[in-house]
Amino acid sequence: MSRFSAITDNPHENRFNNKVGVLVTNLGSPDDATTPALRIYLREFLSDPRIVEIPRVLWMIILHGIILRVRPSKSAQAYKSIWTEDGSPLINITKKQCDKLQKLIEKKGHENVEIVMAMRYGNPSIESGLEQLREKGITNIVVLPLYPQYSSATTGSTFDAVSRVLTKWRWVPQLHFLNGYHDQPKYIESLSNSVSDYLENNPMPDKILFSYHGTPKQFLLNGDPYHCFCHLTTNAVVSRLGLDKEKVLTTFQSRFGKAEWLKPYTDFTLKELAKDGTEHVAILSPAFSADCLETLEELEEENKEYFIEAGGKRYDYIPALNDRDDHIEAFYEILKPHL
Ligand SMILES: C=CC1=C(C)c2cc3[nH]c(cc4nc(cc5[nH]c(cc1n2)c(C)c5CCC(=O)O)C(CCC(=O)O)=C4C)c(C)c3C=C
Ligand SMILES: [Fe+2]
Ligand SMILES: [Fe+2]
């Protein structure tokens, strides 16, 4: 048997067409909000050398000896608080985004495009997504990871997973890997619209926090552009909406482990703001294209408690862009040159 796979082993029977396959990816969730499901998910996630960059052997001892014994039950509790009848919010929202994107692309007159969803960790896997496209005879693939701000830990890791699968294929498809859209005009428009929708319906907050998922500070020092891309996104929205710069803060959330992460930390900033007399904050999280554990549990619940307990009066969470029409339009604009 050959080490390289193909959809047929008959050389004259290859099915192929001139369709474009779009693999839309996001991070992924556990299959269930239970400790065993979390153990499987976290083992895959935290074994990724793009996510944890400490020496392999040492990390494997810590991961298997400590983290995978302790964290799964704690994380399962957190997931239970956001789990829906249909499962993970992140996966369900990504499905909706894919369905709407497929419809929009057809409405725009492209008849030859197939959208398939895949997750970097857990299910549906990147391998199953690529297999689906190959089964349809597609030899031209565009990969769109739904991370606006490139980071080695997210977009870079998605590229690893895609290429790992393709190293096993005999017929490697034509491939476009889209590696970020932190300043893409339609994404900035959609983000700005979500902020202005909020501002039109609520009193002006004292501060607006743009809270991005953090990474270890060492990633930045080693050359990862994520930190700068986050600031560029904030600045683009501030200038588009003409917001008062003094009212806007860029912060970083979701720390993991003991090392220093990107600062200022969201939770720490909220406590300090409240102590200094800030009464009303609004917070959004532009690094998340879909609401997920890190927004629904950490931002909307946990951080709100910190702010109110420290003396704050009003805390409003502005939802992720999810399946807003202007967000789906942004995906279309990003894909258009490749369709
Ligand atoms: C261990 C280090 C981690 C790095 C580095 C990291 C970067 C990073 N992550 C996202 C997006 C998401 N992360 C999510 C959950 C999550 N993240 C980590 C750890 C790191 N992330 C863990 C261990 C978890 C799992 C939950 C937990 O046990 O705490 C999610 C949510 C997934 C869901 O199912 O809802 C997202 C999305 C980005 C954008 C990023 C760096 C730029
Ligand atoms: Fe994360
Ligand atoms: Fe920077």
Ligand 1 atom with least separation from CA of 257: 1
57-78 pLDDT, tens digit per residue, is: 999 999 999 999 999 999 999 9
Query: What is the mean pLDDT of the segment spanning 26-36?
Result: 98
89-115 pLDDT, tens digit per residue, is: 999 999 999 999 999 999 999 999 999
- How many residues are given for the chain? 339
Alpha-helical runs (H) found in the chain: 35-46, 56-62, 68-80, 89-107, 126-135, 157-166, 185-201, 217-221, 226-241, 266-275, 303-309, 325-335
Residue 14 has pLDDT above 80, yes or no: no
Residue nearest ligand 1's atom 2 by CA:
51
Query: What is the mean pLDDT of the segment spanning 47-64?
Result: 97
Counts for the chain of helices (H) and strands (E), in that order: 12, 8
| Nearby residues of 315 by Cβ (< 8 Å), 6 or more positions away | 270, 280, 281, 283, 303, 304, 307, 308
What is the location of CATH 3.40.50.1400 in the chain?
20-28+89-180+326-338, 185-317
Residue 293 has pLDDT above 90, yes or no: yes
Enter the tokens of residue 33: 């909000």
Ligand 1 atom with least separation from CA of 42: 23
Taking CB atoms and a 6 Å cutoff, what residues make up the pocket around ligand 1?
27, 29, 45, 51-52, 71, 75, 88, 90, 147, 151, 153-154, 213, 215, 226, 254, 256, 287-288, 292-294
Which architecture does CATH list for 20-28+89-180+326-338?
3-Layer(aba) Sandwich (3.40)
pTM equals 0.96
> Which of 71, 210, 256 gets mutated to test ligand 1 (max ligand atoms within 8 A of its CB)?
256
Rounded to the nearest angstrom, the distance between the alpha carbon of 196 and the centre of ligand 1 is 28
Q: Which CATH number fits domain 185-317: 1.20.1560.10, 3.90.180.10, 3.40.50.1400, 3.40.50.800?
A: 3.40.50.1400
Q: Using CA atoms, how far apart are residues 21 and 272, in angstroms rounded to an integer? A: 48
250-269 pLDDT, tens digit per residue, is: 999 999 999 999 999 999 99
Does ipTM exceed 0.90?
yes
153-211 pLDDT, tens digit per residue, is: 999 999 999 999 999 999 999 999 999 999 999 999 999 999 999 999 999 999 999 99
The residue with greater pLDDT, 14 or 313, is 313
Rounded to the nearest angstrom, the distance between the alpha carbon of 158 and the centre of ligand 3 is 22
Is residue 12 marked as binding? no
